[in-house]
A and B are shown apart, each in its own frame.
Chain A
């Protein structure tokens, strides 16, 4: 049971930056992909000692598929010896960047799960989001992914997009269900500091509109047989994302790449977000860490609550530790926000899941 079992690799290259995106992204710079892959492998070598048998690997971005299969294969070859049997290996992909051949190559390289950034299937919303893919490309990507033989096909969608009216949302819902993905992540659009969308000062929908949209998504996907297993995630039986579940279970993980975050044995660090600095540090044989924090027991406990309550399963107090304000529990039950659970576990009610932050605010100190 020793060693970190979850590995994240950040692949930052994108052909342009979408208006809502504030991830660590490198626009252009494709000629640096080989240097970057080298750096990643050096970092893997440098940090690899903490790793145990890997249960999950996640290639996230950016646009990992811009690395092309050759480089991804190189990376995966280096990781493969560390994989536990039955490991889940996910790659994110932007629909316009993939075709059948490439997806097959990913499967061959050992990727078992693909997460396609669809965001919406309505042309006007895609353009509002600066997305390069057309709805047709998104549909085609799902079909190709199926054909390529991934064990799990997931799509990312957004609600709360400015200009997205209830009809748009219903159409997206209908079409997504029609694509029959195994897994759906349906996020509420966030205005992230530093994104073009935040800068231009658009207003997101108000709380009631957002609440309506959220409920539409939850009810719609549940009606189509998906299990609402996490705040923004839905899966058919057996298709929950094990890598994300590790995050929500407060497991340790190692993150490699620019801006990647790791949490290992009570320490959390973040890598330099600048590609040059990252590559240069590793070329020197140095760890490219930029910041580090120690998670004291209280912080860790509060994080377990914060993460654990996202899931549709009871939070075991023996695992999570006590809440800061147990006296709030009866009132939360009375308000219908928490339910069931014995003396040893707590669980949000369905209504409570929509108010997760507020419930946490009642139970925990976060100071």
Chain B
């Protein structure tokens, strides 16, 4: 197809503003799918994503569209992940497009993710088509929000499209605008192949499938492909595009988007952002913007039932096939036994992985408190990457500890600014800027990622009654006075409960923690002291009293079976606990470390 008739675009939106619904409408309007075929939201293909209402994996759908100018266009709608954890992936999807529909809920207005995505799109030089969605809602205020969006991207409010993805109102105008305003691609078809890998999936039947945007040259079914950054050879079995079903084709040329089914059996070395080129006629330089993604959040995952360790390893192996950013290595905990220390792009990524492990692989897991990666400079001068609190060296041997910081952008109504600043302050935030956007305040803080990894989101929500939205991006490491807070059960430290905290907060957090544990650990046959310690010094203590009564009063011939079943249930409950130095600790206890009360005041 002629490049002038191709449009590559994506939809960016804050969660729930209607990205998926609008995508469905577009596919419908272009007859890519008929209504019966249309499941709720086509682009979100995994159940889990549907449940959470987010998109993890971007894919590209090609549709044909006859525009009002009478010409037949090829539209490639590239889906983007919608969460901060995946901002690098988002940026790669954006890089595969020339334009973006910026969808904003006309009843909500601009949210933090709207901003973050807009900045990303502007950085990628995309033509932004602002779209106010949900104008059918009685509470929608399109005029007000149109002005704000126009302000944000420096356009005329009149150019902000108004649609209802629900009723289909205005969708035709959206398609026309895509054709009119999004520039066609402009690659050099005769140059050596350069195709941007913006997504990849592992399919159990087909193997690794790569999604790519051809920037220059041609991708032929018979080409011998190589990824330039990793040097990986990618033997192609089939190339094609999604319509939305997989449709094989002979070639994809500059400007087009499609997939390559490779013979690879695991995502392994394959990285989003890498450049595909021809083995025998390589391009001079790869496409810009490639980055190694590094996991930001780590936690230990342990099977509740030790016998399931091999099953957990298999499950992680399987998940890795399809998730190149999931990192894992064996870890042994005195308290929890054999497990894995896993690294994730962010909290959401962690939740998704955990849930898939439990649901799809039927595993019962214990997760330790998530933490970040610390860069610890030893007095000897060597620098250590510490991904688990237990690996923190003796304080006497530490020169400096650095921890990752993020720049957090929070949008909040004016009356919530105090609460947000209070929270950021408690969480060791450094104020950056504040600015009014629409009816709201944009508050920017640099915060230790470790603080966000705890319960920042929940706190933000509860303190602003759900009105604040948050987005953040890494801004590098900073040094801080950090210490390890240990928890002792019945006198013995429980490695899985250790956390790294700021020295000034250690006392309060220790007290909070032991109180929480005291409430979650059931009474045992003996008294169990719970202590918090910093460097061997006890800073807080509570006790779980010994059990005093545990009998079934009445037992006669008619209810021997019932009583036995009761004991069986009790035993079941016991099995869900972890034996930690003779103390039975329920799974919730390990989670309770996560909820740190009102910020350790």
Q: Could you list some 15 contacts between A and B, CB below 8 A?
A: A207-B549, A211-B548, A231-B553, A244-B556, A247-B555, A247-B560, A248-B555, A262-B557, A268-B560, A270-B558, A299-B564, A303-B564, A306-B567, A354-B548, A364-B571
Q: Which of A130-153 contact B (CB under 8 A)?
A: none
Contact with A along B543-576 (1 / 0, CB 8 A): 0010111111111111111011011101110100
Question: Quick one: closest A residue to B565, CB to CB?
Answer: A366
- A333 to chain B: closest CB distance in Å? 12
Q: Which of A88-128 contact B (CB under 8 A)?
A: none
Other-chain residue from B551, B558, B572 in contact with A357 (beta carbon distance below 8 A): B551
Tell whether B434 is near chain A: CB-to-CB under 8 Å.
no
Question: Quick one: closest B residue to A360, CB to CB?
Answer: B567
Other-chain residue from B548, B550, B563, B582 in contact with A306 (beta carbon distance below 8 A): B563
Tell whether A167 is near chain B: CB-to-CB under 8 Å.
no
Q: Which chain A residues lie closer than 8 Å to B567 at the CB level?
A: 302, 306, 357, 360-361, 364, 366
Question: Quick one: closest B residue to A188, CB to CB?
Answer: B553
Other-chain residue from A8, A185, A310, A354 in contact with B550 (beta carbon distance below 8 A): A354
**Which bracket fits the contact residues of B?**
20 to 34
A307:B525 contact, CB within 8 angstroms:
no
Q: Which of A320-346 contact B (CB under 8 A)?
A: 331-332, 335, 337
Tell whether B526 is near chain A: CB-to-CB under 8 Å.
yes
Tell whether A64 is near chain B: CB-to-CB under 8 Å.
no
Known: A355-B525, A361-B571. 14 other contacts (CB 8 A): A190-B554, A207-B547, A207-B548, A214-B551, A253-B557, A303-B564, A306-B567, A331-B582, A355-B551, A356-B550, A356-B552, A358-B550, A361-B570, A367-B571
Q: Which chain A residues lie closer than 8 Å to B553 at the CB level?
A: 187-188, 190, 231-232
Instruction: Give Cα A261–Cα B556 distance, bound, in whole angstroms.
Output: 10
A207:B551 contact, CB within 8 angstroms:
no
Tell whether A255 is near chain B: CB-to-CB under 8 Å.
yes
Instruction: Give Cα A248–Cα B552 distance, bound, in whole angstroms.
Output: 13
Tell whether B356 is near chain A: CB-to-CB under 8 Å.
no
Other-chain residue from B548, B549, B568 in contact with A366 (beta carbon distance below 8 A): B568
A268:B561 contact, CB within 8 angstroms:
yes
Instruction: Give Cα A310–Cα B571 distance, bound, in whole angstroms.
Output: 19
Interface residues of B (CB under 8 A from A): 523, 525-526, 545, 547-561, 563-564, 566-568, 570-572, 574, 582
Q: Which chain A residues lie closer than 8 Å to B549 at the CB level?
A: 207, 210-211, 214, 354-355
Q: Which chain B residues lie closer than 8 Å to A231 at the CB level?
A: 551-553, 555
Other-chain residue from B545, B547, B568 in contact with A367 (beta carbon distance below 8 A): B568
Q: Which chain A residues lie closer than 8 Å to B558 at the CB level?
A: 8, 255, 259-261, 270
Q: Which of A212-255 contact B (CB under 8 A)?
A: 214, 231-232, 244, 247-248, 253, 255
A232:B554 contact, CB within 8 angstroms:
yes
Q: Which chain A residues lie closer than 8 Å to B556 at the CB level?
A: 60, 244, 247
Given A260-B558, A293-B561, does the pair A335, B550 have CB atoms closer than 8 Å? no
A247:B564 contact, CB within 8 angstroms:
no
Q: Which chain A residues lie closer than 8 Å to B557 at the CB level?
A: 6, 8, 247, 253, 255, 261-263
Q: Which chain B residues lie closer than 8 Å to A307 at the CB level?
A: 555, 560
A358:B564 contact, CB within 8 angstroms:
no
Tell whether A362 is near chain B: CB-to-CB under 8 Å.
yes
Given A231-B553, A253-B557, A302-B564, does the pair A366, B547 have CB atoms closer than 8 Å? no
Question: Quick one: closest A residue to B582, CB to CB?
Answer: A331
Instruction: Give Cα A164–Cα B598 distance, bound, in whole angstroms.
Output: 39
Given A260-B558, A335-B525, A362-B525, does the pair A357, B550 have CB atoms closer than 8 Å? yes
- A347 to chain B: closest CB distance in Å? 16
- A140 to chain B: closest CB distance in Å? 26
Other-chain residue from B523, B551, B571 in contact with A356 (beta carbon distance below 8 A): B551
Instruction: Give Cα A87–Cα B525 distance, bound, in whole angstroms.
Output: 41
Tell whether A274 is near chain B: CB-to-CB under 8 Å.
no
Tell whether A284 is near chain B: CB-to-CB under 8 Å.
no
Q: Which chain B residues lie closer than 8 Å to A187 at the CB level?
A: 553-554
- A366 to chain B: closest CB distance in Å? 4
Instruction: Give Cα A2–Cα B568 distance, bound, in whole angstroms.
Output: 32
Instruction: Give Cα A359–Cα B551 distance, bound, in whole angstroms.
Output: 10
Given A188-B553, A361-B570, does the pair A335, B547 have CB atoms closer than 8 Å? no
Q: Which of B557, B560, B564 has the most CB of A within 10 A?
A: B557
Q: Which chain B residues lie closer than 8 Å to A263 at the CB level?
A: 557, 560
A310:B555 contact, CB within 8 angstroms:
yes
Instruction: Give Cα A337–Cα B545 distance, bound, in whole angstroms.
Output: 16
Tell whether A296 is near chain B: CB-to-CB under 8 Å.
no
Tell whether A49 is near chain B: CB-to-CB under 8 Å.
no
Contact with B along A288-309 (1 / 0, CB 8 A): 0000010000010011001100
- B557 to chain A: closest CB distance in Å? 5
Instruction: Give Cα A37–Cα B571 distance, bound, in whole angstroms.
Output: 42
Question: Quick one: closest A residue to B584, CB to CB?
Answer: A361
Tell whether A208 is near chain B: CB-to-CB under 8 Å.
yes
Q: Which chain B residues lie closer than 8 Å to A34 at the CB level?
A: none
Tell whether A165 is near chain B: CB-to-CB under 8 Å.
no
Q: Which chain B residues lie closer than 8 Å to A175 at the CB level?
A: none
Question: Quick one: closest B residue to A251, CB to CB?
Answer: B557
Q: Which chain A residues lie closer than 8 Å to B566 at the CB level?
A: 357
Which are the 4 A-B pairs with shortest beta-carbon distances?
A: A211-B548, A211-B549, A188-B553, A358-B550
- B413 to chain A: closest CB distance in Å? 40
Question: Quick one: closest A residue to B556, CB to CB?
Answer: A247
Tell whether A365 is near chain B: CB-to-CB under 8 Å.
yes
- A73 to chain B: closest CB distance in Å? 24
Q: Which chain B residues lie closer than 8 Å to A262 at the CB level?
A: 557
B564:A355 contact, CB within 8 angstroms:
no
Q: Which chain B residues lie closer than 8 Å to A244 at the CB level?
A: 556
Q: Which chain A residues lie closer than 8 Å to B570 at the CB level?
A: 357, 361, 366
Q: Which of A260-295 contact B (CB under 8 A)?
A: 260-263, 268, 270, 293
Q: Which chain B residues lie closer than 8 Å to A207 at the CB level?
A: 523, 547-549
Given A244-B556, A261-B557, A263-B557, does the pair A306, B551 have CB atoms closer than 8 Å? no
Q: Which of A244, A261, A268, A356 has the most CB of B within 10 A?
A: A261
Instruction: Give Cα A65–Cα B570 distance, bound, in whole angstroms.
Output: 38
Q: Which chain A residues lie closer than 8 Å to B571 at the CB level?
A: 361, 364-367
